[in-house]
């Protein structure tokens, strides 16, 4: 069993978790459809031309390709020394795992499993993947800040409490990370030589990244472009559904709905993302049925992208196996 298979293997309880999380996602979507005018919801979904959906899906895949390159740059900035084909396999497998593997961190498990199995510097893979996650979060926060700057006047009264709670949550998370970092620093001192050697490898990976700040900044810009493309895809789906809102409103609401989808309640945040988008856009005068229709159409693109990524990861793994067999036969 290779590294990826070993890390993604799960007992039956894991598959039960997968079933429960998908059931929760479908239950939330069913509840939204029940409490909203179903005729309007169906009409909004049917208004999306298949050709537009296909074109937007192609743009989504193009953004994923940029995401592959970004992950490759960050991982190798930590000195993991992974070839681009392996980075693509890691990233594509991670997209598939986030939707279809029985784990809250399924996507990261696959990325780390494949990356570590192909790198002589596993600490660099772990560190690079962590930095890449931070860059994605920073890119989404950047879009939110742009939206806040461009919003004419203050937020709607209905969103004041939401914005205040988000700030409190962010402050609590920041304080929690600081406390954990201080606690870990005290806990890790005086550990075994083997443990301290692994810790030293992590520090080397961090130092390698700190020597390449221009790569990190360029990766951050790539992350912003990827997230902005995802936003535009969702906004254009919304236009087809009859949802016409100013761009700065999308800049504010869409990234926050993605943050909400990170809560480990449903598989891939399905259902949670639509609920958050509904709560954030309705105060701006958006029709509820069109908002949910836009979210469902967006989920269709995300799920199709995850399946496409899984197919691509399998193809890359097959090509790699063929290359290894061919190289072994020539020896």
Tell me the pTM: 0.82
For residues 153 and 314, give the distance between their C-alpha atoms in angstroms, rounded to a whole number: 50
Taking only the tens place, the pLDDT of each residue in 119-139 is 888 888 888 888 898 899 889
Query: Which tokens sit at 5?
Result: 């298979």
Percent of the chain with pLDDT over 90: 34
pLDDT exceeds 80 at position 329:
no
CB atoms within 10 A of CB 51: 8
Q: Count Cβ atoms within 10 A of the Cβ of residue 183 and give its class: 0-12 exposed, 13-18 middle, 19 or more buried.
A: exposed
pLDDT band at 115 (very low <50, low <70, confident <90, very high): confident
* Token code pair at residue 292: 């949910």
List pLDDT tens digits, range 13-53: 667 777 888 888 899 988 888 888 888 999 999 999 999 99
Provide the pLDDT confidence category of residue 6 given band limits of 50, 70 and 90: very low
pLDDT-derived band at 3, boundaries 50, 70, 90: very low
pLDDT at 153 over 80: no
- Closest-CA residue to 216 (of 282, 106, 132): 132
């Amino acid at each position: 069993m290779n590294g990826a298979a070993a890390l993604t293997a799960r007992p039956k309880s894991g598959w039960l978790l997968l079933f429960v999380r998908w059931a929760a996602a479908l239950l939330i979507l069913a509840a939204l459809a029940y409490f909203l005018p179903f005729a309007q919801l169906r009409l909004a979904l049917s208004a999306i031309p298949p050709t537009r959906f296909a074109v937007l899906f192609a743009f989504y895949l193009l953004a994923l390709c940029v995401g592959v390159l970004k992950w490759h740059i960050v991982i190798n900035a930590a000195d993991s020394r992974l070839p681009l084909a392996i980075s693509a396999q890691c990233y594509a497998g991670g997209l598939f795992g986030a939707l279809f593997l029985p784990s809250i961190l399924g996507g990261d498990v696959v990325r780390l499993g494949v990356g570590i199995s192909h790198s002589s510097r596993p600490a660099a893979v772990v560190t690079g993947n962590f930095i890449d996650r931070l860059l994605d979060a920073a890119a989404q926060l950047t879009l939110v800040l742009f939206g806040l700057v461009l919003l004419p006047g203050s937020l709607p009264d209905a969103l004041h409490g939401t914005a205040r709670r988000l700030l409190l949550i962010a402050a609590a998370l920041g304080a929690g990370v600081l406390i954990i970092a201080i606690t870990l620093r005290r806990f890790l001192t005086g550990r075994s030589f083997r443990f301290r050697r692994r810790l030293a490898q992590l520090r080397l990976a961090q130092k390698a990244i700190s020597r390449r700040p221009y790569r990190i900044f360029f990766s951050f810009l790539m992350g912003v472009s990827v997230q902005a493309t995802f936003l535009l895809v969702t906004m254009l789906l919304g236009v087809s559904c009859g949802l016409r809102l100013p761009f700065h409103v999308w800049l504010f609401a869409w990234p926050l709905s993605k943050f909400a989808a990170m809560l480990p309640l449903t598989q891939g945040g399905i259902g949670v993302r639509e609920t958050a988008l509904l709560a954030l856009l309705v105060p701006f005068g958006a029709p509820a049925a069109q908002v949910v229709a836009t979210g469902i159409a967006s989920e269709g693109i995300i799920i199709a992208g995850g399946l496409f990524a899984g197919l691509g990861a399998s193809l890359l793994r097959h090509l790699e196996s063929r290359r290894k067999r061919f190289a072994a036969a020539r020896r």
